[in-house]
Amino acid sequence: MVLNNAVWRTIKEQKGQYVGLILIIILACFGFVSFGMLGTNLQTVCDAYAKQTVQEDLQFETMQSLGDLRAIGDAVHATIEESRSYDEVFEGRTLRVFSENHSVNRPALLEGTPLSDGHILIDPQYAKSNTLRIGDPLTVAGKHFEIAGFVALADYTYITKNASDLINDSKSFGVAVITRNDFSANVQADSIRYVVKFLDGSKDVFTQGALLKKYLREHRIGIDYANWSYALNNARINTPVLKTKSVKAFSAVMPIMLLLASCVMIGLIVRRLIKTQAGQIGTLYALGYRKSELIRHYLRYPLVISVVGAVVGTILGIWVYPTLLIYYLAYFPMPIESATLVPGIIAWGLILPFMLLIPFSFFVIWNILKSSPISLMRGEMSVRKPSWLERSLKLGKVSFSLKFMLREQLRSLPQLFFLMVAIAFVTVFLNVGMIIKHSFDALASEGIKSTFDYQYEYLFKQPIQSPVPSGTEPLDVVFVQSDQNKQQQIELIGIQERSSFIHLLDGEGNPLDVDHQDAVILSKSLVKSLHADVGSFITFTETNVTDKSFTLKVTAITTSPTGAQVFVPLATLNQIVGLPFGSYAVLISNYGNVPVSKDQRYTMRSLHESSGNMQNMLQQVMAAVYVMMFVSILIALVLIYVIASITVQENQAQISLMKVFGYRMHEIKSMILNPSGVGVVLGYMLGIPVTLYVTQGVYQQIMDSMNLTMSIQVNGWYFLVGFVLVYGTFECSKLMCISRISRVSMSETLMVGRE
């Protein structure tokens, strides 16, 4: 059909619009395919890794050796293995060296040769940060080893020094493994843990764990186990799994949103196109063309756009996802054979744009082409009736430019609405990262520091009763669970009255203290998960040692950024768990050289380190935030430009007329293009509360995963900067439209009514 030759010509004439639209679809398909395949590949890698290494379900420590592991394993349907490690500390760096495991958490070789005596395998992140290469020598406990290769350890997929650390710092901490022979011959283990793989697939790990615990207790084996930690709650193990989930969610949500935006845009563009060609269409109708033929013709536009967008986006996605995979696996070292293409995702990537764009466009086209040929020919659609809204709008004395602006908006409400919603979304994406980053900063720099106001922790292996050295304060922590929420591990902390190191605040910012023996201060995060409040009674069960239950009455709630923690006086805690008066297991202090008697086994932990790590992580996060901001601005630019250029097209006759009447270029520009500014500004304003809502939700999720409570910290400046960016984008798109306006000729006006 003759019209079809016009498709390319039209696209070329309005290339800005179509290129913009194609860009969005490319972005959508790219996101879908690259992140989709990244997610699936990560999943595969995680699963294969868990299988290959026989990744643990549970780990714990005991005071005494468990003895015959096989017998226990047989009794509870599990494989249990000892995991010994030793911390080699030099120049402020710690390398945690493990003895090679054979049945649970088997080391996975990433590169190099398998382990043999005299050799050591180290984790690749530590190697890279400390420029260690295969073949280099490395000294552990005074003995020289040769680095035989790089390794991944199943219980250190996310490599952090302390189980509670949020961030890894590969410069100062790494893991390594040597053979059992080498380990027992040269090294004194400073940590012995048991790692467990449950074999009964019919029960969940928590149930099996409970059975194991029951068995141990009944047979009085081990006694006093500590750090009972399920893989599902262990950040070192579940972080990559959680990341995989969020990657997958992102790969679905973001592209769909972009595609929906493209739908609306193609709808607006095609509608504009058909209106411009209404006369032609009427003629074709009159000449006997069928409606279906015309619909098919106009469907070519979304078709062309979808084909180009889907193909380019998918190819880009296929091309880029291995890089993303490598980038992710650099943080979570796991062996990978090769990145595998997922045909299903590629197919969906190719189909998705069509599935959304074609039906939507069909509906729009069909709806417009319903008009009779005669009315199409008369161009009745272009001289449309003013809506009742426009008619009822009485603008008396206001300035003409304001009237004009309002009229323009009323005339194109769908565009205004779309622009507002789109800009609101952009606003969210633009600001979410910044606010979260800022909130983290506040949490790290003020929140946590001002609550736990000390530098060092001395963690004893066992509660002791020695006198408390000066410049320190004693405390003790026991792990409990509540009947309300059995999965959550809660820390019951006994602290000193009028503590000078721990400062808890209530919701109004007043200090709270455990100033009487029944004082029970609950952290805000527990209020939600335990459905408790001041005055509630909560029954806790001590989980590590005694399995004793007791009931506490909440006397206050603290909103300080603490974890899932309950604070009571130290004396009360000792009484509850049956320890002698004056016992403690932790000393906190601002001094790093507190005299602790030699025979007490303890580890010292510096809080400095973790805040340094936090800074590191924030830098990584910032990179992601900037990328997100850049992409948002790009999307905003395309959206605003497409809307602006449709506006120019729609107003061609008017622009031409304004030129005839002697309007200056800048006047025309501002009258035609500034009205869209209303949508931009309104959209941004609409976006602010949405941003706050979304950010609070996202932040809450992060806080929940860290067992912290804290609300977002909003800095008005960020919104201002965001606004400047969005408005700048709007100004940019205006600049891009100027040439289109100057191209409108005055003869446009004169053509009509000729002949």
Partner 1 sequence: MFIQVDRATKRYKSGDVETIGIQQATLELAKGDIGVILGPSGSGKSTLLNMIGGIDRVDSGKIIINGINICAMHEKELTEYRRKQVGFIFQAYHLISHLTVQENIEMISQISENPLPMDHVLSAVGLTDKANRFPRELSGGEQQRVAIARSVIKNPQVLLCDEITGALDYASSIQVLEMIQEINRTYGTTVLLITHNQAIAAMANNVYQFRSGEVTEVRTNSQPVDARGIVW
Three-state SS for 602-617 is EEEEEHHHHHHHHHHH
Q: Does 661 bind partner 1 (CB under 8 A)?
A: yes
| Number of residues binding to partner 1, judged by CB under 8 A | 37
Q: Does 753 bind partner 1 (CB under 8 A)?
A: yes
Identify which of residues 486 and 664 has a Cβ nearer to partner 1 in the complex.
664
Distances in whole angstroms, Cα of residue 240 to Cα of each of 25, 128, 187 = 29, 20, 31
Distances in whole angstroms, Cα of residue 537 to Cα of each of 364, 531, 546, 554 = 61, 11, 21, 6
Q: Does 395 bind partner 1 (CB under 8 A)?
A: yes
Q: Does 743 bind partner 1 (CB under 8 A)?
A: no
Q: Does 750 bind partner 1 (CB under 8 A)?
A: yes
Site for partner 1, residues 35 to 74, rule: CB under 8 A: none
Which x/- pattern, by CB under 8 A, does the window 213-232 give for partner 1? --------------------
Identify which of residues 624 and 750 has a Cβ nearer to partner 1 in the complex.
750
List the one residue out of 120, 118, 199, 191 whose CA is nearest residue 161. 191
Identify which of residues 138 and 671 has a Cβ nearer to partner 1 in the complex.
671
Identify which of residues 653 and 721 has a Cβ nearer to partner 1 in the complex.
653
Q: What is the spatial distance between Cα 718 and Cα 105, in angstroms, rounded to a whole number? A: 46
Identify which of residues 27 and 376 has a Cβ nearer to partner 1 in the complex.
376
Identify which of residues 654 and 696 has a Cβ nearer to partner 1 in the complex.
654
Least distance to partner 1 from the beta carbon of 755, Å?
8
Identify which of residues 387 and 500 has a Cβ nearer to partner 1 in the complex.
387
For the chain, the residue count is 755
List the structure tokens of 130.
């400390």
Q: At what angle do helices 665-705 and 652-660 cross, to 10 degrees?
A: 140
Contact by Cβ (8 Å): 645, 14: yes
Among 201, 400, 581, 593, binds partner 1 (CB under 8 A): 400
Distances in whole angstroms, Cα of residue 592 to Cα of each of 363, 455, 457 = 72, 8, 9
Which x/- pattern, by CB under 8 A, does the window 711-740 give for partner 1? ------------------------------
Concatenated DSSP letters of 556-604? EEE-SS--SEEEEEHHHHHHHHTPPTT-EEEEEES-S-----TTS-EEE
Q: Does 598 bind partner 1 (CB under 8 A)?
A: no
Cβ of 457: how many Cβ atoms within 10 Å? Answer: 18
Identify which of residues 90 and 388 has a Cβ nearer to partner 1 in the complex.
388
Identify which of residues 110 and 746 has a Cβ nearer to partner 1 in the complex.
746
Q: Which residues pair with 494 in a beta bridge?
A: 476, 568
Identify which of residues 268 and 625 has a Cβ nearer to partner 1 in the complex.
268
Identify which of residues 411 and 605 has a Cβ nearer to partner 1 in the complex.
411
Q: What is the spatial distance between Cα 530 and Cα 509, in angstroms, rounded to a whole number? A: 23
Least distance to partner 1 from the beta carbon of 279, Å?
15
Identify which of residues 720 and 752 has a Cβ nearer to partner 1 in the complex.
752
Three-state SS for 652-670 is HHHHHHHHHCCCCHHHHHH
Q: Does 678 bind partner 1 (CB under 8 A)?
A: no
Question: In 257-274, which positions are buried (b, 16+ CB within 10 angstroms) versus exposed (e)?
Answer: bbbbbbbbbbbbbbbbbb
Identify which of residues 417 and 663 has a Cβ nearer to partner 1 in the complex.
663
Runs of H (alpha helix) within 488-569 = 524-529
Least distance to partner 1 from the beta carbon of 661, Å?
6
Least distance to partner 1 from the beta carbon of 386, Å?
5
Q: What is the spatial distance between Cα 349 and Cα 705, in angstroms, rounded to a whole number? A: 32
Q: Does 404 bind partner 1 (CB under 8 A)?
A: yes
Identify residue 501 by its one-letter amino acid code: F
Q: Does 667 bind partner 1 (CB under 8 A)?
A: yes
Q: Which residues pair with 552 in a beta bridge?
A: 538
Among 197, 659, 734, 740, binds partner 1 (CB under 8 A): 659
Site for partner 1, residues 416 to 455, rule: CB under 8 A: none
Coil, strand or helix: which one is 242? helix
Question: In 532-546, which positions are buried (b, 16+ CB within 10 angstroms) versus exposed (e)?
Answer: beeeeebebbbbbbe
Instruction: Determine the interface stretch with partner 1 among 61-69, 150-158, 629-637, 660-668 (rule: CB under 8 A).
Output: 660-668
Site for partner 1, residues 371 to 390, rule: CB under 8 A: 383-386, 390
Q: Does 663 bind partner 1 (CB under 8 A)?
A: yes
Least distance to partner 1 from the beta carbon of 666, Å?
11
Among 220, 394, 397, 498, binds partner 1 (CB under 8 A): 394
Least distance to partner 1 from the beta carbon of 643, Å?
18
Q: Return phi, psi of residue 224, to 5°.
A: 50, 60
Q: Does 654 bind partner 1 (CB under 8 A)?
A: yes
Instruction: Determine the interface stretch with partner 1 among 34-42, 323-331, 514-522, 742-750 (rule: CB under 8 A).
Output: 742-750
Coil, strand or helix: which one is 642? helix
Cβ of 470: how many Cβ atoms within 10 Å? Answer: 9
Q: Does 271 bind partner 1 (CB under 8 A)?
A: no
Q: Which residues pair with 83 in a beta bridge?
A: 193
Q: Is the dihedral of CA 132, 114, 139, 458 positive or negative?
A: positive
Q: What is the spatial distance between Cα 196 and Cα 215, in angstroms, rounded to a whole number? A: 14
List the structure tokens of 295.
């619909």
Q: What is the spatial distance between Cα 618 and Cα 702, in angstroms, rounded to a whole number? A: 14
Least distance to partner 1 from the beta carbon of 714, Å?
41
Identify which of residues 4 and 382 has a Cβ nearer to partner 1 in the complex.
382
Least distance to partner 1 from the beta carbon of 271, Å?
17
The answer for residues whose C-beta is within 8 angstroms of residue 649's C-beta and 6 or more apart is 14, 272, 276
Identify which of residues 384 and 598 has a Cβ nearer to partner 1 in the complex.
384
Q: Does 401 bind partner 1 (CB under 8 A)?
A: yes
Least distance to partner 1 from the beta carbon of 746, Å?
5
Q: CA 508: distance to chain centroid?
A: 31
Q: Return phi, psi of residue 285, to 5°.
A: -55, -50
Q: Return phi, psi of residue 464, to 5°.
A: -125, 165
Q: CA 641: distance to chain centroid?
A: 29
Instruction: Determine the interface stretch with partner 1 among 225-233, 235-243, 320-328, 396-404 (rule: CB under 8 A).
Output: 396-404
Identify which of residues 657 and 688 has a Cβ nearer to partner 1 in the complex.
657
Q: Does 664 bind partner 1 (CB under 8 A)?
A: yes
Identify which of residues 359 and 386 has a Cβ nearer to partner 1 in the complex.
386
Q: What angle do CA 625, 630, 634 make, to 5 degrees?
A: 145
Cβ of 671: how many Cβ atoms within 10 Å? Answer: 19
Q: Does 403 bind partner 1 (CB under 8 A)?
A: yes
Distances in whole angstroms, Cα of residue 324 to Cα of each of 33, 126, 241, 596, 632 = 12, 20, 16, 48, 20
Q: Does 608 bind partner 1 (CB under 8 A)?
A: no
Q: Does 746 bind partner 1 (CB under 8 A)?
A: yes
Least distance to partner 1 from the beta carbon of 366, Å?
25
List the structure tokens of 145.
């080893």
Least distance to partner 1 from the beta carbon of 380, Å?
10
Identify which of residues 543 and 749 has a Cβ nearer to partner 1 in the complex.
749
Least distance to partner 1 from the beta carbon of 672, Å?
12
**Sites of contact with partner 1 (CB under 8 A):** 383-386, 390-391, 394-395, 399-401, 403-404, 407-408, 410-411, 653-654, 657-665, 667, 746-747, 749-750, 752-755
